[in-house]
Structure 1
Amino acid sequence: MVPGVPRVAVRIRRASRAVVLDPDGRILLVRFVFPAGDVWATPGGGIDEGETAEEAIRRELSEEVGLENVELGSWIWVREHVFPFLDGRWDGQAEQYFLVRTKHFEPAPRFTPEQLAAEYVGGLRWWTPAELAASAELFAPRRLPELLAALLRDGPPEEPLDVGV
């Protein structure tokens, strides 16, 4: 604590995300469109009051991707970052990432285009590891190309890995 500087509580939202992989090792990412710029991230979102992380990611996958009856794999990554939410309710997010292996499918969100836009969702895309590594796009986590390569090479970690920002 710094003398003369008031202590401020940081409001961190709990969130759940899925690393969705198809049999070819492609990863499904969501393009989030923010005023400061776009970012590609794994599907997922906030954990509602009374929900578990597992329930939240199943709901989010249904809403954003159209993926139902998901069999969750390991809890593989954690990430905590501080950033101002546009609605002012939160100062950051603590995320749990679950591995989801699935057959090939074309995303078909359950949400309407208007509902997706309200969640800042601007699109969905399957990426190969090579496309990720060669891209100049912004990813969250920032090290996603490296993290995906390690996951495909070594399998899930024994304990959730802190993936940084």
Structure 2
Amino acid sequence: MAEYQYIDGLKLRQKVRAVIINDDGDILLVRPHGYASNEWTLAGGGVEQGETVHQAMRREIAEELGVTLEGALDQLPVSNQYIYSAEYKTKRSLDHDGQDASMFVVRLPNDAVLKLQREEVAEARWFSRGDAASAFPVQKQREVFEACLAALAA
């Protein structure tokens, strides 16, 4: 079951996304199935009914990357709200108006072993911060990513 929130009269699907950073400051991005070979995104997914965003983030990292997160999980003061067009909503027969993603920072050691969820994730790769920003296929994703990096630097 999906978890929703209501903002300004809109029904939004709750999502979580992780800016995953290793000891060298590189960023881990994933390429879900259906993305072009040069299109990448942040790991994450939907919040299930009864979960907090923190629980959902831990579950998504475990599912997609095979990594169990220990210790505190830091939520960033950034979100990514996306409202669907009427055409998109009709085409997909959606019962909600868009999504609102809570952003987190996840730190992994350089030697972290990843076990990708092959049903969803085609590939995962470490990028330098500059290269990571240009790997997102949509401008808004780049802007949210840059806002996350700025929040980390603050």
Give the structure-2-normalised TM-score.
0.72
SS class of match (1:40): coil
- Corresponding residue number in structure 2 for 1:82: 83
Residues 1:91 and 1:48: Cα distance change in structure 2 (over 3 Å) = same
Q: How does 1:86-97 map to 2 (within 5 A)?
A: 86=92, 88-97=94-103
Residues 1:39 and 1:12: Cα distance change in structure 2 (over 3 Å) = farther
Residues 1:124 and 1:58: Cα distance change in structure 2 (over 3 Å) = same
SS class of match (1:130): helix
What amino acid maps onto 2:108 in structure 1?
A: T
- Corresponding residue number in structure 2 for 1:102: 108
Determine whether 1:143 maps to 2:143.
Answer: yes
What amino acid maps onto 1:82 in structure 2?
A: I
- Corresponding residue number in structure 2 for 1:160: none
Unpaired runs of at least 5, structure 2: 1-8
Q: How many residues align?
A: 138
Deviation of 1:49 (Å): 0.5
- Corresponding residue number in structure 1 for 2:65: 65
Unpaired runs of at least 5, structure 1: 1-8, 156-165
Q: How does 1:16-27 map to 2 (within 5 A)?
A: 16-27=16-27
Residues 1:64 and 1:136: Cα distance change in structure 2 (over 3 Å) = closer
Determine whether 1:12 maps to 2:12.
Answer: yes
Give the whole-Å Cα distance in 2 for the aligned partners of 1:89 and 1:36.
28
Structure number with higher helix proportion: 2
Give the whole-Å Cα distance in 1 for the aligned partners of 2:94 and 2:52.
24
SS class of match (2:109): coil
Identity %: 30
**Range with greater deviation from structure 2 (141-150 or 14-23):** 141-150
Deviation of 1:71 (Å): 3.1
Give the structure-1-normalised TM-score.
0.67
Residues 1:149 and 1:107: Cα distance change in structure 2 (over 3 Å) = same
Residues 1:94 and 1:58: Cα distance change in structure 2 (over 3 Å) = same
Cα RMSD (Å) of the superposition? 3.0
